[in-house]
Structure 1
Amino acid sequence: MNAYRIRPLDKAVDTTAFQCGQPSLDEYIRRYASQDARRNVARVFVATPASDDSHLAGFFTLSAGSIACTELPEALAKKLPRYPVPVALIGRLAVDVGFQGKGLGSILLVDACQKVANASAVLAMAGIVVEAKDDSTASFYQHFGFQHLPGSPTRLLLPAAAFFAS
């Protein structure tokens, strides 16, 4: 089994060779990720093989957001106030083609959810929202308990009750 080190993006990581099969995600990690981190609009976390801290195997981003109560599944919405509620956003999650099919995507998602769960001790949130690029990506998230948001075929939510300890 491959061992990975997951940490915030730093200058030791070589982003130039990263290719995940989605050009927009490749461009993001190369050109915009460090800017987003510096500007405090996203936290960017990278996975590197334990044996090579510079080789980018995958990454994800976390940020804060909100969602209108009317956009939530009815069962959850009826338990919440009628104004926008806070959520965590996994804005991007990608695995380099050389590491795909080895479970790294799942490792990254679990790590992202754990970071959000830890933050939930001091920062309230109703859940985690992701934007799926396609049906296979949506299926990946659904496997972990994410549910489609009503009226949006690409946005999914993992309700806080499904993951966070109360």
Structure 2
Amino acid sequence: MTEGFSIQDLSFEPLSKENVPLDFNCGDKDLDDFIINDALVHQDANVAMTTLVRYRSEVVAFYSLATDCISLDSNEKGRIRKEYRIPYSEFPALKICRLAVCKGFQGKGIGRAMVYDVIGLALDLQEWMGLRFLSVDAYRASEGFYKKLGFLFNHHENEIDPRGETVSMRFDLQPIVWEEREI
């Protein structure tokens, strides 16, 4: 099914009652269960919104988003205070709550394409609201994926998972905003 695969053949659509991928299998039971049983419940409660990714007609991936607020450590806060004269200790973020790719499509750049899609959405949202960061509580196994995309660790004590199953990470949108303004 992946023969001749091209990232340009991906399409994105919102999750609905009509398109729940009941046979989704990314190899992680928690993520599979979420998209099959919980994503619509979260969406109906306005807790997280889910986007499906199709390759041709098949759902091959998804991501879920919610709003977030992250705390920075004192050094980072000091840098932002100095640069922008902003006294806040917490900053608005768009959180990637879940992100998964079906087994047969992993390693083909779909995860990266989804993160780029989220970055584009975040930049669009900045026209309407304050939004400085993307955030994610990444599974330890996915930590390297996010680091390659430019995410950094959150070191503030409120951002640390006491069980050690996930690691809190963030992506600063501001350098992209500066770059766009220079063009």
Q: TM-score surpassing 0.5?
A: yes
2:95 touches 2:136 (CA, 8 Å); kept in 1? yes
| Distance (whole Å) between structure 1 residues aligned to residue 176 and residue 61 of structure 2 | 23
Aligned to 2:174: 161
Aligned to 2:83: none
Fraction of identical pairs, as percent = 23
| Residues 57-96 of structure 1 aligned to structure 2 (within 5 Å) | 57-70=60-73, 74-75=75-76, 77-79=78-80, 80-96=86-102
| Distance (whole Å) between structure 1 residues aligned to residue 175 and residue 96 of structure 2 | 16
Larger Rg: 2
TM-score by length of 2: 0.79
| Distance (whole Å) between structure 2 residues aligned to residue 130 and residue 77 of structure 1 | 23
SS in 2 for 1:62: strand
Moved more, 23-32 or 74-83: 74-83
Aligned to 2:149: 144
1:145 touches 1:162 (CA, 8 Å); kept in 2? no
The code of the aligned residue for 1:144 comes to L
Q: Which structure: greater helix fraction?
A: 2
2:69 touches 2:93 (CA, 8 Å); kept in 1? yes
Aligned to 1:117: 123
TM-score by length of 1: 0.86
**TM-fit CA distance, 1:150:** 1.3
User: Aligned-pair RMSD on alpha carbons?
Assistant: 2.0
Aligned to 1:6: 12
Structure 2, unmatched stretches of 5+, are 81-85, 161-165
**TM-fit CA distance, 1:85:** 1.8
2:60 touches 2:101 (CA, 8 Å); kept in 1? yes
